[in-house]
Protein backbone atom coordinates (compact mmCIF):
# COMPACT_ATOMS: atom_id res chain seq x y z
CA UNK A 1 0.00 0.00 0.00
CA UNK A 2 1.11 3.57 -0.70
CA UNK A 3 0.16 6.24 1.85
CA UNK A 4 0.69 9.96 1.31
CA UNK A 5 0.15 12.26 4.30
CA UNK A 6 -0.03 16.03 3.83
CA UNK A 7 2.53 15.70 1.07
CA UNK A 8 3.83 19.05 -0.19
CA UNK A 9 6.53 19.72 -2.77
CA UNK A 10 7.72 23.19 -3.72
CA UNK A 11 10.22 24.25 -6.33
CA UNK A 12 11.17 27.76 -5.28
CA UNK A 13 7.97 29.82 -5.33
CA UNK A 14 6.03 27.14 -7.20
CA UNK A 15 3.96 24.61 -5.25
CA UNK A 16 3.76 21.47 -7.35
CA UNK A 17 1.97 19.31 -4.75
CA UNK A 18 -0.07 20.96 -2.01
CA UNK A 19 -0.95 18.98 1.14
CA UNK A 20 -1.87 15.74 -0.66
CA UNK A 21 -3.21 12.92 1.54
CA UNK A 22 -4.02 9.66 -0.20
CA UNK A 23 -4.09 5.89 0.30
CA UNK A 24 -3.62 3.48 -2.58
CA UNK A 25 -4.75 0.01 -1.59
CA UNK A 26 -4.23 -3.42 -3.13
CA UNK A 27 -6.73 -4.98 -5.49
CA UNK A 28 -7.48 -1.86 -7.53
CA UNK A 29 -6.38 -0.12 -10.70
CA UNK A 30 -6.31 3.52 -9.62
CA UNK A 31 -6.31 6.05 -12.44
CA UNK A 32 -4.32 9.21 -11.69
CA UNK A 33 -5.82 12.11 -13.62
CA UNK A 34 -5.23 15.83 -13.91
CA UNK A 35 -4.29 18.59 -16.38
CA UNK A 36 -0.68 19.34 -17.32
CA UNK A 37 0.99 20.88 -14.30
CA UNK A 38 -1.43 19.28 -11.84
CA UNK A 39 1.41 17.60 -9.90
CA UNK A 40 0.95 13.99 -11.00
CA UNK A 41 4.52 13.31 -12.14
CA UNK A 42 5.94 15.17 -9.15
CA UNK A 43 3.85 13.03 -6.81
CA UNK A 44 5.19 9.87 -8.44
CA UNK A 45 8.77 11.12 -8.25
CA UNK A 46 8.41 11.86 -4.54
CA UNK A 47 6.95 8.39 -3.92
CA UNK A 48 10.03 6.88 -5.60
CA UNK A 49 12.46 9.08 -3.67
CA UNK A 50 13.63 10.91 -6.80
CA UNK A 51 12.52 14.22 -5.27
CA UNK A 52 12.45 14.97 -1.56
CA UNK A 53 9.17 16.30 -0.16
CA UNK A 54 9.14 19.83 1.23
CA UNK A 55 6.89 18.51 3.98
CA UNK A 56 4.67 15.52 4.67
CA UNK A 57 5.43 11.88 3.95
CA UNK A 58 5.21 9.31 1.16
CA UNK A 59 5.37 5.76 2.49
CA UNK A 60 5.41 2.41 0.71
CA UNK A 61 4.34 -0.40 3.01
CA UNK A 62 4.98 1.93 5.94
CA UNK A 63 8.50 3.10 4.99
CA UNK A 64 10.02 5.61 2.54
CA UNK A 65 11.31 4.22 -0.76
CA UNK A 66 14.95 4.72 0.33
CA UNK A 67 14.45 2.29 3.21
CA UNK A 68 13.05 -0.56 1.15
CA UNK A 69 15.29 -3.62 1.38
CA UNK A 70 14.50 -4.81 -2.16
CA UNK A 71 12.86 -1.93 -4.06
CA UNK A 72 12.14 -3.75 -7.33
CA UNK A 73 10.51 -6.59 -5.44
CA UNK A 74 8.20 -4.11 -3.69
CA UNK A 75 7.34 -1.48 -6.31
CA UNK A 76 7.89 -1.47 -10.06
CA UNK A 77 7.70 1.87 -11.85
CA UNK A 78 7.81 3.42 -15.29
CA UNK A 79 8.13 7.20 -15.35
CA UNK A 80 10.10 7.77 -18.56
CA UNK A 81 10.34 5.21 -21.34
CA UNK A 82 13.45 6.96 -22.70
CA UNK A 83 15.43 6.61 -19.46
CA UNK A 84 17.56 3.79 -20.92
CA UNK A 85 21.14 3.98 -22.22
CA UNK A 86 20.64 4.09 -26.01
CA UNK A 87 23.70 1.94 -26.70
CA UNK A 88 22.60 -0.88 -24.42
CA UNK A 89 20.34 -3.67 -25.66
CA UNK A 90 16.96 -4.17 -24.06
CA UNK A 91 18.09 -7.52 -22.68
CA UNK A 92 21.26 -6.08 -21.15
CA UNK A 93 19.29 -3.22 -19.59
CA UNK A 94 17.11 -5.73 -17.78
CA UNK A 95 20.11 -7.91 -16.87
CA UNK A 96 21.77 -4.97 -15.10
CA UNK A 97 18.60 -4.22 -13.17
CA UNK A 98 18.16 -7.88 -12.23
CA UNK A 99 21.74 -8.17 -11.02
CA UNK A 100 21.44 -5.01 -8.93
CA UNK A 101 18.52 -6.56 -7.04
CA UNK A 102 19.87 -10.14 -6.95
CA UNK A 103 17.01 -11.34 -9.12
CA UNK A 104 17.41 -14.60 -11.05
CA UNK A 105 18.72 -14.14 -14.58
CA UNK A 106 15.86 -16.28 -15.91
CA UNK A 107 13.45 -13.55 -14.89
CA UNK A 108 14.75 -11.33 -17.72
CA UNK A 109 13.57 -13.75 -20.39
CA UNK A 110 10.22 -14.14 -18.63
CA UNK A 111 9.38 -10.44 -18.58
CA UNK A 112 10.63 -9.92 -22.15
CA UNK A 113 8.21 -12.60 -23.30
CA UNK A 114 5.37 -11.21 -21.20
CA UNK A 115 5.62 -7.78 -22.88
CA UNK A 116 6.19 -9.17 -26.39
CA UNK A 117 9.79 -7.94 -26.70
CA UNK A 118 11.71 -11.20 -27.08
CA UNK A 119 12.41 -10.71 -30.79
CA UNK A 120 13.70 -7.16 -30.24
CA UNK A 121 15.56 -7.80 -26.99
CA UNK A 122 19.03 -7.83 -28.55
CA UNK A 123 18.62 -4.57 -30.43
CA UNK A 124 20.06 -1.37 -28.98
CA UNK A 125 17.49 0.63 -27.04
CA UNK A 126 18.32 3.72 -29.07
CA UNK A 127 16.72 2.06 -32.11
CA UNK A 128 13.41 1.39 -30.35
CA UNK A 129 10.20 3.19 -31.25
CA UNK A 130 8.30 4.94 -28.44
CA UNK A 131 5.95 1.97 -28.16
CA UNK A 132 8.84 -0.50 -27.90
CA UNK A 133 10.46 1.70 -25.28
CA UNK A 134 7.22 1.63 -23.30
CA UNK A 135 7.15 -2.17 -23.44
CA UNK A 136 10.76 -2.35 -22.23
CA UNK A 137 9.95 0.05 -19.40
CA UNK A 138 6.97 -2.07 -18.37
CA UNK A 139 9.21 -5.17 -18.47
CA UNK A 140 11.60 -3.41 -16.09
CA UNK A 141 8.71 -2.50 -13.79
CA UNK A 142 7.59 -6.14 -13.71
CA UNK A 143 11.10 -7.55 -13.23
CA UNK A 144 10.90 -7.98 -9.46
CA UNK A 145 7.33 -9.36 -9.56
CA UNK A 146 6.33 -6.44 -7.30
CA UNK A 147 3.18 -6.02 -5.25
CA UNK A 148 2.88 -2.38 -6.41
CA UNK A 149 3.04 -1.12 -9.98
CA UNK A 150 3.23 2.60 -10.79
CA UNK A 151 3.16 3.77 -14.41
CA UNK A 152 3.19 7.30 -15.85
CA UNK A 153 1.41 7.50 -19.24
CA UNK A 154 2.17 3.86 -20.16
CA UNK A 155 0.03 3.71 -23.32
CA UNK A 156 1.84 6.55 -25.12
CA UNK A 157 3.13 5.25 -28.43
CA UNK A 158 1.35 1.90 -28.22
CA UNK A 159 -0.75 0.62 -31.11
CA UNK A 160 -4.36 -0.52 -30.47
CA UNK A 161 -3.23 -4.09 -29.79
CA UNK A 162 -0.68 -2.79 -27.27
CA UNK A 163 -3.27 -0.58 -25.57
CA UNK A 164 -5.60 -3.54 -25.12
CA UNK A 165 -2.71 -5.68 -23.89
CA UNK A 166 -1.71 -3.24 -21.15
CA UNK A 167 -5.34 -2.74 -20.13
CA UNK A 168 -5.70 -6.50 -19.66
CA UNK A 169 -2.36 -6.69 -17.86
CA UNK A 170 -3.18 -3.97 -15.34
CA UNK A 171 -6.60 -5.37 -14.53
CA UNK A 172 -5.19 -8.88 -14.10
CA UNK A 173 -2.48 -7.62 -11.73
CA UNK A 174 -5.08 -5.83 -9.63
CA UNK A 175 -7.21 -9.00 -9.61
CA UNK A 176 -4.21 -10.79 -8.09
CA UNK A 177 -4.36 -8.36 -5.17
CA UNK A 178 -1.65 -5.94 -6.29
CA UNK A 179 -1.73 -2.15 -6.09
CA UNK A 180 -1.79 -0.56 -9.56
CA UNK A 181 -1.37 3.22 -9.91
CA UNK A 182 -1.42 4.60 -13.44
CA UNK A 183 -1.56 8.14 -14.83
CA UNK A 184 -3.02 8.96 -18.21
CA UNK A 185 -4.59 11.74 -20.24
CA UNK A 186 -6.63 9.20 -22.24
CA UNK A 187 -9.98 9.37 -20.50
CA UNK A 188 -11.66 6.72 -22.65
CA UNK A 189 -8.91 4.24 -21.78
CA UNK A 190 -9.03 5.06 -18.08
CA UNK A 191 -12.78 4.52 -18.09
CA UNK A 192 -12.17 1.00 -19.40
CA UNK A 193 -9.20 0.20 -17.16
CA UNK A 194 -9.50 1.86 -13.75
CA UNK A 195 -11.94 1.02 -10.99
CA UNK A 196 -10.78 3.88 -8.77
CA UNK A 197 -9.94 7.47 -9.71
CA UNK A 198 -7.73 10.15 -8.17
CA UNK A 199 -8.02 13.60 -9.76
CA UNK A 200 -5.61 16.47 -9.08
CA UNK A 201 -5.55 20.11 -10.12
CA UNK A 202 -2.85 22.69 -9.38
CA UNK A 203 -1.25 20.32 -6.89
CA UNK A 204 -4.41 19.74 -4.86
CA UNK A 205 -6.67 16.71 -4.55
CA UNK A 206 -10.00 17.19 -6.34
CA UNK A 207 -11.47 13.69 -6.16
CA UNK A 208 -10.59 10.29 -4.70
CA UNK A 209 -13.38 7.82 -5.32
CA UNK A 210 -14.46 4.74 -7.24
CA UNK A 211 -15.06 5.04 -10.96
CA UNK A 212 -18.67 3.96 -10.44
CA UNK A 213 -19.33 6.63 -7.80
CA UNK A 214 -17.65 9.34 -9.86
CA UNK A 215 -19.75 8.56 -12.92
CA UNK A 216 -22.91 8.12 -10.84
CA UNK A 217 -22.42 11.57 -9.35
CA UNK A 218 -22.52 12.94 -12.89
CA UNK A 219 -25.62 10.94 -13.79
CA UNK A 220 -23.69 8.38 -15.85
CA UNK A 221 -24.53 4.70 -16.18
CA UNK A 222 -25.95 2.13 -18.55
CA UNK A 223 -29.30 1.23 -20.09
CA UNK A 224 -29.90 -2.48 -20.68
CA UNK A 225 -32.60 -4.28 -22.66
CA UNK A 226 -33.33 -7.96 -22.55
CA UNK A 227 -35.95 -10.59 -21.68
CA UNK A 228 -34.88 -11.50 -18.11
CA UNK A 229 -32.89 -8.79 -16.38
CA UNK A 230 -33.86 -9.18 -12.71
CA UNK A 231 -30.67 -11.12 -11.83
CA UNK A 232 -28.66 -8.29 -13.38
CA UNK A 233 -30.66 -5.68 -11.45
CA UNK A 234 -29.85 -7.51 -8.24
CA UNK A 235 -26.13 -7.34 -9.04
CA UNK A 236 -25.94 -3.53 -9.02
CA UNK A 237 -26.88 -1.20 -6.19
CA UNK A 238 -29.38 1.43 -7.32
CA UNK A 239 -30.39 -0.40 -10.51
CA UNK A 240 -34.03 0.13 -11.46
CA UNK A 241 -36.43 -0.61 -14.30
CA UNK A 242 -37.60 2.27 -16.49
CA UNK A 243 -41.18 2.65 -17.73
CA UNK A 244 -40.27 1.04 -21.07
CA UNK A 245 -38.97 -2.10 -19.32
CA UNK A 246 -35.29 -1.34 -19.81
CA UNK A 247 -32.93 -1.58 -16.85
CA UNK A 248 -31.09 1.55 -15.72
CA UNK A 249 -27.78 0.93 -13.92
CA UNK A 250 -26.37 4.17 -12.47
CA UNK A 251 -22.62 4.54 -12.15
CA UNK A 252 -21.71 1.38 -14.08
CA UNK A 253 -20.30 1.73 -17.62
CA UNK A 254 -21.47 -0.72 -20.34
CA UNK A 255 -18.19 -2.65 -20.09
CA UNK A 256 -18.87 -3.49 -16.45
CA UNK A 257 -22.56 -4.26 -16.99
CA UNK A 258 -21.86 -6.42 -20.04
CA UNK A 259 -19.24 -8.44 -18.18
CA UNK A 260 -21.64 -9.10 -15.31
CA UNK A 261 -24.45 -10.09 -17.69
CA UNK A 262 -22.10 -12.51 -19.43
CA UNK A 263 -21.08 -14.04 -16.10
CA UNK A 264 -24.77 -14.50 -15.25
CA UNK A 265 -25.48 -16.08 -18.64
CA UNK A 266 -28.09 -13.48 -19.55
CA UNK A 267 -29.35 -12.67 -23.03
CA UNK A 268 -29.12 -8.96 -23.87
CA UNK A 269 -30.92 -7.16 -26.67
CA UNK A 270 -29.35 -3.76 -26.04
CA UNK A 271 -26.66 -2.12 -23.94
CA UNK A 272 -25.77 1.55 -24.11
CA UNK A 273 -24.09 4.26 -22.07
CA UNK A 274 -26.24 6.99 -20.62
CA UNK A 275 -25.29 10.31 -19.07
CA UNK A 276 -21.75 11.64 -18.80
CA UNK A 277 -18.56 9.89 -19.82
CA UNK A 278 -15.41 10.01 -17.70
CA UNK A 279 -14.06 12.64 -20.08
CA UNK A 280 -17.11 14.88 -19.56
CA UNK A 281 -16.97 14.42 -15.79
CA UNK A 282 -13.22 15.05 -15.67
CA UNK A 283 -13.48 18.25 -17.71
CA UNK A 284 -16.16 19.57 -15.36
CA UNK A 285 -14.02 18.76 -12.32
CA UNK A 286 -10.85 20.33 -13.69
CA UNK A 287 -12.25 23.20 -15.74
CA UNK A 288 -10.98 25.81 -13.28
CA UNK A 289 -7.67 24.04 -12.64
CA UNK A 290 -6.09 24.14 -16.11
CA UNK A 291 -2.82 26.07 -15.94
CA UNK A 292 -2.29 26.40 -19.68
CA UNK A 293 -5.71 26.99 -21.28
CA UNK A 294 -5.76 27.26 -25.06
CA UNK A 295 -7.72 30.15 -26.51
CA UNK A 296 -10.67 29.13 -28.70
CA UNK A 297 -10.04 30.17 -32.27
CA UNK A 298 -12.16 29.90 -35.37
CA UNK A 299 -10.74 27.87 -38.22
CA UNK A 300 -9.30 30.06 -40.96
CA UNK A 301 -8.69 33.10 -38.77
pLDDT in tens, 85-131: 999 999 999 999 999 999 999 999 999 999 999 999 999 999 999 99
Query: What was the pLDDT predicted at 275?
Result: 76
Give per-residue pLDDT as tens, 150-207: 999 999 888 899 999 999 999 999 999 999 999 999 998 998 899 999 999 999 999 9
Pairwise CA distance, residues 28 & 25, whole Å: 7
Cβ burial 252-291 (10 Å sphere, 16+ → b, else e): bbbebbbebbeeeebebeebebebbbbeebbeebbeebbe
* Any domain includes 20: yes
Query: What was the pLDDT predicted at 82?
Result: 86
Question: Do 38 and 99 sit in the same domain of this protein?
Answer: yes
User: Is the model's pLDDT at 300 over the cut of 50?
Assistant: no
Query: What was the pLDDT predicted at 296?
Result: 47
* Model confidence, pTM: 0.80
Question: Do 58 and 151 sit in the same domain of this protein?
Answer: yes
Query: What was the pLDDT predicted at 238?
Result: 85
Pairwise CA distance, residues 116 & 48, whole Å: 27
Using a pLDDT cut of 90, give the percent of the chain over it: 75
Quote the mean pLDDT of the chain: 91
Question: Do 132 and 250 sit in the same domain of this protein?
Answer: no
With vertex at residue 171, the alpha carbon angle to CA 35 and CA 236, rounded to the nearest 5 degrees, is 90
- Indicate the number of domains in the chain: 2
Question: Do 268 and 137 sit in the same domain of this protein?
Answer: no
Cβ atoms within 10 Å, residue 36? 10
Instruction: Compute and round to an integer the Cα radius of gyration of the chain.
Output: 21
Question: Do 52 and 146 sit in the same domain of this protein?
Answer: yes
Question: Do 82 and 108 sit in the same domain of this protein?
Answer: yes
Question: Do 150 and 245 sit in the same domain of this protein?
Answer: no
Question: Do 263 and 174 sit in the same domain of this protein?
Answer: no
DSSP conformation class of 275: S
* Any domain includes 279: no
Q: Where are the alpha helices (DSSP H) in 12-159?
A: 40-47, 71-74, 90-100, 106-114, 130-142
Query: What was the pLDDT predicted at 190?
Result: 92
Pairwise CA distance, residues 27 & 139, whole Å: 21
- The parent domain of residue 194 ranges over 2-210
Amino acid sequence: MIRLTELTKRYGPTTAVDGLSLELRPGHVTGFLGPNGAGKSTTMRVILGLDAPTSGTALIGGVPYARLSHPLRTIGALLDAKAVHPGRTGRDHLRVLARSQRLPAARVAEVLESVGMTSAADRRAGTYSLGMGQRLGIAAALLGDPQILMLDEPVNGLDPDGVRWIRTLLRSLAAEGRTVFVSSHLMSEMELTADRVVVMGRGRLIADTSMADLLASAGAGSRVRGPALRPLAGAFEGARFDDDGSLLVPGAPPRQVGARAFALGLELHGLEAIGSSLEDTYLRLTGDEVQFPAAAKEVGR
